[in-house]
Amino acid sequence: MRRIIVFLCLVYSVAACNNKDKSLSFEQAFLKSLQKNNYDLLKDYLPDMAFYKSLGDKMEKRTDEEIKQYLDEKNEKIKVAWDNTLFNVIKRKIDISKIKIKEVVYYYPFKKNKISEAMVISYEYENRTWDDLDFIVNRNNGKTVLLGIPNIITTLSMSDPELRSTNEAKTFLEIENPDFKAKLQKLTDSLVLLVRGKKLNEFGGHLVYRGNDIKRKWRSPINISDSSDRMEAEKFMQRVSTDMDGCTSYSAGEIDTQKEIEGQWVALPLNCGTKTIIFAYLKINNQLMLGDIKVDVNVK
């Protein structure tokens, strides 16, 4: 009788663990798979035949055999990325159990892709916050399906304390707000007025640092009190003045976004006669700051 009771307890314990695993969110399951060195813990979050067919016309029409081959190739890429992430964890001796998830942000940076969604996770590790857990997922059917791990080199590298991935994600979400363009145009109009009024101190407070200090370049604002930074601000102000010359009136075009090595650019074009002046911003310290300007000549 005692053996039967022990056996039933073991069965119950295994079942409880399985149910617990199935109740994990994707991000929790991903971390647990690394902690346990067990890729199979992610199997419920990987794309399968049912998922592919649930997307209907959003996916290319394929035979079942072609779908299987497509999924095998995609899942193999995910496995390779996971292996690389695990290698980083082992190499850096990261204790996964000490990672505490703080925030998860979803956004749509893929203009022509209605299936994929970007996911950025910020987490705390040893009293510091990082956000180098990036994924491509799908949540259309109430379940998170992992479609890719895009940044295998930087995943869990804990090298960017500025949380640029989170800031970029939130910038995308801001842009989707109908009021965003009006706010960006108001900011741009004010900068034009500051340039025309030759108010360098105020104008410099809205500029991204573009100097020779690699640690600050594209990552911090100009310090208008610093002599070299001030000189940089003066040159930038002259550029804006020259580019806006002759534009007594102008109209704003559509906002464009583009991710470059410097970060997530947000550009607002100003149409002025035969030219378009493009003001390009980066988000620094949770504030949009002017990082570049260029002129396109409209050829008729």
Question: How confident is the model over 61-75, as pLDDT tens digits?
Answer: 899 999 999 999 999
Q: Give the whole-angstrom CA distance, residue 165 versus residue 133.
A: 9
Q: Give the whole-angstrom CA distance, residue 135 versus residue 36.
A: 20
* Average pLDDT rounded to a whole number, residues 282-300: 88
Q: Give the whole-angstrom CA distance, residue 194 versus residue 290.
A: 13
Model confidence band, residue 168 (pLDDT cutoffs 50, 70, 90): confident
pLDDT above 60 (res 9) = no
Model confidence band, residue 22 (pLDDT cutoffs 50, 70, 90): low
* Average pLDDT rounded to a whole number, residues 146-170: 90
* Average pLDDT rounded to a whole number, residues 73-86: 96
Report yes or no on whether pTM surpasses 0.85.
no
Alpha-helical regions (H) of 117-179: 164-175
64-65-67 Cα angle (round to 5): 65
